[in-house]
Structure 1
């Protein structure tokens, strides 16, 4: 289902991030005031793909279209952080985010991690509902997001249930 991302996926990762952010976070980042930072996001994805210990999983669209991203989901993680997660809006509610999170948590478990963390915008209510449903718990940690207007991010954490490793 999911596969490892490659450098050929850079533009598709950016495009999926843009599409999902516009749908989920338009109230936080109004496009007319804060245009999506295409070049900066593309550069960040290049760094993420090249970073040792960071894995990026992607799910290809079985029916690609020129009008949308060719990816329908991605998850980036390292030993103990779920760093990036997105699902294309026309696939919301299909369980893809949960599947991506489960895959990342299992990989963290195999690396010996016993807990995981992530940052989520306070205003991203849909994502917060999902994380809390899946057992993530908010912490007191807060920080400004890197992108203007720098809304507040909050940290979530959860225990990783040990497998048979």
Structure 2
């Protein structure tokens, strides 16, 4: 279902992030005031793909004409760093499957507590995370790196140990 992203996926990673943000975060980053930072996001993805210990899972979009991606999930030993699902796939369980895959990979690496940062105003994502057992950490807030620098909040979740 998922494969590891490569440098050949840079544009598709950026494009998926843009599509998801324009639909799901329009109220946080109004495009008329804060255009999507195409070049900066592309540069960030190049750094993420090159960073030791970071894995980026993707799922190719088989049924859309653009040939892009339906999903990306970037993570390291303990952090779910980036997650996006194409709006055409919202509500299909794809995000849940990706999160379970990431948590299993963290478990295999010996992690017992996972973390992520989520925009406070990303209500859709927050509902999903909380439904899946993630809990906000009291007092853990920071400004997001992109203008207008909305607030991000930290979530954690216990990872039940498997037989590894």
Same fold (TM over 0.5): yes
Which whole-Å CA distance do the structure 2 matches of 1:63 and 1:159 have between them?
35
2:42 corresponds to which residue?
42
1:87 counterpart = 2:85: yes
Which whole-Å CA distance do the structure 2 matches of 1:26 and 1:62 have between them?
26
1:153 counterpart = 2:152: yes
2:101 corresponds to which residue?
103
Q: Deviations over 1:51-78 (max 9, x none)?
A: 0000000000112413xx6100010000
CA-CA distance at 1:163 after TM superposition? 1.1
**Where does 1:2-13 land on structure 2 (aligned, <5 Å)?**
2-13=2-13
RMSD: 0.7
1:122 counterpart = 2:149: no
2:143 corresponds to which residue?
144
Runs of 5+ consecutive residues of structure 1 not aligned to the other structure: none
Which whole-Å CA distance do the structure 2 matches of 1:130 and 1:64 have between them?
25
CA-CA distance at 1:15 after TM superposition? 0.2
1:30 corresponds to which residue?
30
CA-CA distance at 1:6 after TM superposition? 0.4
User: Secondary structure of 2:41's partner?
Assistant: helix
TM-score for both structures, normalised by structure 2:
0.98
TM-score for both structures, normalised by structure 1:
0.97
1:63 counterpart = 2:87: no
1:53 corresponds to which residue?
53
Which whole-Å CA distance do the structure 2 matches of 1:14 and 1:35 have between them?
14
Which whole-Å CA distance do the structure 2 matches of 1:109 and 1:76 have between them?
15
User: Secondary structure of 1:73's partner?
Assistant: strand
